[in-house]
């Protein structure tokens, strides 16, 4: 079977650890952020070997962000013949 055959599947899990806004005067060192990112990623990958052995690769996204303009909303699209149950 070629790599283009079959159904592409991925297992995705996300976590966001939020630092309270009112934690003023606290500087979180970049080295602590990096250590947390690396350690959590390593532990999850270690768990996955037994819990999800079907995976052939894992994509790891590590971010430290300031969410000043992070807004998410769900927008309902107009009903049509393809997105509405009959």
* Tens of each residue's pLDDT in the chain, 86 residues: 566 788 989 999 999 898 888 888 889 999 999 999 999 999 999 999 899 999 999 999 999 998 888 888 989 889 888 888 77
What's the whole-number average pLDDT of the chain?
89
Determine the Cα–Cα distance for residues 80 and 57; give it in Å rounded to an integer.
38
Token pair of 30, please? 């970049």
Domain boundary assignment for the chain: 34-67
- In the numeric block, the tokens 């997105």 are attached to 83
> Could you read off the pLDDT of 57-75 as tens digits, one per residue?
999 999 999 888 888 898 9
pTM comes to: 0.71
């Amino acid at each position: 079977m070629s790599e283009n055959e079959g159904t592409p599947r991925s297992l995705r899990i996300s976590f966001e650890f939020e630092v309270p806004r009112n934690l003023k005067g606290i500087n979180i060192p970049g080295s602590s952020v990096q250590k947390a990112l690396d350690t959590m990623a390593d532990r999850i990958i270690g768990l996955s070997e037994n819990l999800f052995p079907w995976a052939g690769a894992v994509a790891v996204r590590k971010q430290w962000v300031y969410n000043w303009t992070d807004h998410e909303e769900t927008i309902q699209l107009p009903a049509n013949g393809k997105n509405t149950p009959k």
